[in-house]
Amino acid sequence: MGRWEPDAAGRLREAALELFEERGFEQTTVAEIAARAGLTERTFFRHFADKREVLFRGSEGLRDALVGAIDGAPKSAGPLDAVTAALEASGQVFDKELSRRRRAVILANPELQERELIKLASLADALGEALGRRGVAALVARLAAETGIAAFRVTFERWVTDEAARPWSEHLHETLTELTELALGAPAPAP
């Protein structure tokens, strides 16, 4: 086994995604993932707590990008402007092909969908806390954070399914424009 070859975590992630796509998440075992990667189960568990972590590891990087952008926003930025800066920064975190594959696996499994919602709720909490550190009132911070996560979800869905490969920022700004029109009561144009 090539357990001493570089990038064991990357090899394990790729092997897991291949197997999840071929057999489904539930039907894939850690032993099969390790074998496909040419590694041992022990090596798998050095990198991931369980097979779900193959899909959810890296959430910390997304959280850090979001919070870092809010923390780095100009002091004059209002809560939604700071959240917009965070959403812009989040687009730099993703690999589109990996995101597409991960999304398909998650959509095929209710347990993973639940885990994804928990992750998004955790991100909303982190955004709200970052806004609170900027002096935003707790309820306003929560509303801005939850609105930001809703915009994030819509932007992500648009971006990951866009065959034209338009950049993240274009999808984000379309989403925010539609959100503004919705808030103002103006009808949004049909897609």
Task: Provide mean pLDDT across the span 9-34.
Answer: 96
- Please report the pLDDT score of residue 58 as a whole number: 82
Nearest CA to 171 out of 157, 155, 190 is that of 155
- Confidence at 25, pLDDT banded by 50, 70, 90: very high
Q: Does residue 5 have a pLDDT over 70?
A: no
- Please report the pLDDT score of residue 6 as a whole number: 76
The model scores a pTM over 0.85:
yes
Task: Provide mean pLDDT across the span 89-110.
Answer: 94
- Please report the pLDDT score of residue 3 as a whole number: 44
Write the pLDDT tens digit of every residue in 35-65.
999 999 999 999 999 999 999 988 889 999 9
Distance CA 132, CA 140 (A): 9
Task: Provide mean pLDDT across the span 138-150.
Answer: 97
Write the pLDDT tens digit of every residue in 164-179.
989 999 999 999 999 9
Q: At what angle do helices 30-37 and 8-23 cross, to 10 degrees?
A: 120
DSSP track, 93-127: T--HHHHHHHHHHHHT-HHHHHHHHHHHHHHHHHH
Between residues 1 and 176, which one has the greater pLDDT?
Answer: 176
Q: Which helix (H) or strand (E) holds 159?
A: helix 138-161
Q: Which domains does the chain have, with CATH numbers?
A: 8-54 (1.10.10.60), 58-184 (1.10.357.10)
Q: Does residue 191 have a pLDDT over 70?
A: no
Distance CA 37, CA 40 (A): 8
Write the pLDDT tens digit of every residue in 151-168.
999 999 999 999 998 999
- Please report the pLDDT score of residue 169 as a whole number: 95
Distance CA 61, CA 90 (A): 9
